[in-house]
Amino acid sequence: MNELAGKRIVLGVTGGIAAYKAAELTRLLVKAGATVDVVMTEAATRFVSAMTFQALAGRDVWTSLWDGDQRGMAHIDVTRGADAVLVAPATADFLARLTHGMANDLLTTLCQARDCPLLVAPAMNRQMWEQPATQRNVAQLAADGVTILGPTAGEQACGEIGEGRMLEAQQLFDALVAFLQPKPLVGKKVLLTAGPTFEALDPVRGLTNTSSGKMGFALARACAEAGAEVTLVAGPVCESQSSWYANKRIDVTSALEMRAAVLTALPGQDVFIAVAAVADYRPAAAAEHKIKKGAQTLTIELVANPDILAEVAARPDAPFCVGFAAESRNLAEYAEGKRRAKKLPLVVGNLVQDGLGGDTNQVTLFDDAGVHPLPAGGKLTVARGIVTHIARLMKCTE
């Protein structure tokens, strides 16, 4: 997927061991269709050679104020027409010089002379990160409009463990893609549900479904990319499923737990997107101990679970509500019927064979204006299309 096709990124690299991650980031950016101009400090070249970045980017690498033509304007020329400057790694020294407006090498000078957004990915020893001076510098940069990516906690090159480790190349790539997306939902608060629910029969068994939560997580990310503040209520999904883009994540198991979490988080929300495949029924009573094999047949009494979406949509102060209809047949009939019955402005319908549990999806949007099929694609791509439609219906503009 050429997510950055036509974009031009200036990648600044300073002198830290995390510079090796910048090489992988360069590869990811180029693969995604971006043009990458790499600017290295003299110290950075002690960790990774300029030739490495030149080979990966397919372009000359900038290392000096005197690079380029005889005009001596590299500090201005490099960023003209760029979509963003990303400095990764950004050392404590670089952050300090940037904060105080210093311009004593090419990278700090072009950061001062740029006319595009600036993002920095701090990387340093945990004690350097914790220093009051560093924290003051980062706070000032954020106040000045610089986007701070990370750092995270983990094992560091010095052998210590703590905060200060630079984000991985893929995380930085994802963050940059998100940063460059249109922002029609800035100022909006979005509450989403994702994944299945699990309704216990006994301590080890239960009723559930094959929802992976991938569509809900993709929509949470797409809403965050669009500028929204996101609260994600997730059923039991794979533990490794990241949700770094959510401002708040609440993990639940059963439909009743999901309902309670939604109603608690609901006040002040502008949008509610009910993506989760909530079980329609649960056992009337869960056995205290494991049910042992015995009789050839077993009768289980089921009772209806609450309809979370219908309950939210019926509130007098209801947010903009979006429902999902996963059907095995008669999609248009059932999806539109659900929309009308619950008085929803939008229902996203799909056939379970087209998306449930997988990495791709094909959906059709149903609203007051009619039926709007979206092209099949990866779930994040589809989610971005859904968010664009939501913003249009809410008359949000970037």
C-alpha distance from residue 236 to each of 197, 212, 254, 275 (Å):
6, 9, 9, 14
Say which of 116, 158, 238, 396 is annotated catalytic: 158
- Cα-Cα end-to-end distance for the chain: 24
Phi then psi for residue 61, to 5 deg, are: -100, 140
Q: 39 forms bridges with which residues in the sheet?
A: 12, 62
158 as an active site residue: the answer is: yes
ω before 89 within 30° of 0 (cis)?
Answer: yes
Contact 246, 261 (CB under 8 A): no
Q: How would you write 83-118 as a 3-class SS string? A: CEEEEEEECHHHHHHHHCCCCCCHHHHHHHHCCCCE
Q: Work out the burial of residue 361: count CB atoms within 10 Å of its CB; fewer than 13 is exposed, 13-18 middle, 19 or more buried.
A: buried
309 phi-psi bin (left φ>0, alpha ψ -120 to 50, beta other):
alpha
Which sequence positions are flagged as catalytic? Answer: 158
